[in-house]
Amino acid sequence: MRTWSVVSQKGGSGKTTLVLHLAIAAASEGAAVSVVDLDPQRSAERWSELREERVKNDDLVVVHGTATGLAGMLKAARDNGTTLALIDTPPAVDKSMIYAAAAADVVIVPTRSSVMDQFSLRETLDYLKQIRALTKTVVVLNAASTDKAARADTEHLAGDEFGVGVLSVALADHVDLAASLRTGRGVTEAAPKRKAAKAVQDIYAELCAFERKLARARRLSA
């Protein structure tokens, strides 16, 4: 089972949006996906009730849990055939983030690109550095502006200060992301021909490639 955790100290950076759309994109490519929602806001878990009403015969599992229960939940997910566990976390540098990052093969940090977001990104990456999770961490620009300088600033902060890469594919500001979730669907299901769907698929592919590269490096150094 692969485990990906989506973390960021900043509220509204796009953690839950990314988790849900990635979960559905991954499922459509054959993964058996379980989402673990560690956020007391329970956004992902509540959304799954909407999905249950709207989408019949669906395999996607979304469960709420706590940091201390995470290891047990992941074991249960593995035992039940999950091949990709996606962990959504609260907007904080806290126990949930530590446990989620420790359990993950890949840590994904979504960030918007304003200067305030960059302050927060620095805090998040600094925290991940303290818990030695930076080598498996990658940043995803979300609701990205077309301002090239904003991407360059984020790349400079993540890369030069922390040695962390920024995915080449960014998620732009897409109304289709929220609109599809309102119908209980991911954008790749509800609007597969739209730009947002392509972006989600490309981000999923880039994350898979990052994960494979990490696994290769681990094998070589073993």
Ligand X SMILES: Nc1ncnc2c1ncn2[C@@H]1O[C@H](COP(=O)(O)OP(=O)(O)OP(=O)(O)O)[C@@H](O)[C@H]1O
Interacting residue ranges for ligand X, rule: CB under 6 A: 11-17, 39, 41, 43, 91, 142-143, 171, 173-174, 177-178
Contact between 115 and 157 under an 8 Å Cβ cutoff? The reply is no
Site for Mg ion in 17-46 (CB under 5 A): 43
When the beta carbons of 15 and 136 are compared against ligand X, the nearer one is 15
171 binds, among ligand X, Mg ion, none (CB under 5 to 8 A by kind): ligand X
Q: Give least dist CB 67 to ligand X, A.
A: 15
Instruction: Return the residue matching tokens 């100290």.
Output: 9
When the beta carbons of 44 and 98 are compared against Mg ion, the nearer one is 44
In the complex, residue closest to Mg ion by CB: 16
Residue from 10, 15, 64, 112 touching Mg ion (CB under 5 A): that is: 15
28 binds, among ligand X, Mg ion, none (CB under 5 to 8 A by kind): none
Q: Give least dist CB 152 to Mg ion, A.
A: 27
Q: Give least dist CB 87 to ligand X, A.
A: 12
Q: Give least dist CB 10 to ligand X, A.
A: 7
Q: How far is CA 110 from the centre of its chain?
A: 7
Site for Mg ion in 40-99 (CB under 5 A): 43
Q: Does 16 bind Mg ion (CB under 5 A)?
A: yes
17 binds, among Mg ion, ligand X, none (CB under 5 to 8 A by kind): ligand X
- Contacts with Mg ion by CB under 5 A: the residue count is 3
Phi, psi for 136 (deg, rounded to 5)? -105, 15
178 binds, among Mg ion, ligand X, none (CB under 5 to 8 A by kind): ligand X
174 binds, among Mg ion, ligand X, none (CB under 5 to 8 A by kind): ligand X
Pairing of strands 171-172, 137-144: parallel
Q: Give least dist CB 41 to Mg ion, A.
A: 6
As a whole number of angstroms, the distance between CA 82 and CA 31 comes to: 8
Give contact residues for Mg ion (rule: CB under 5 A): 15-16, 43
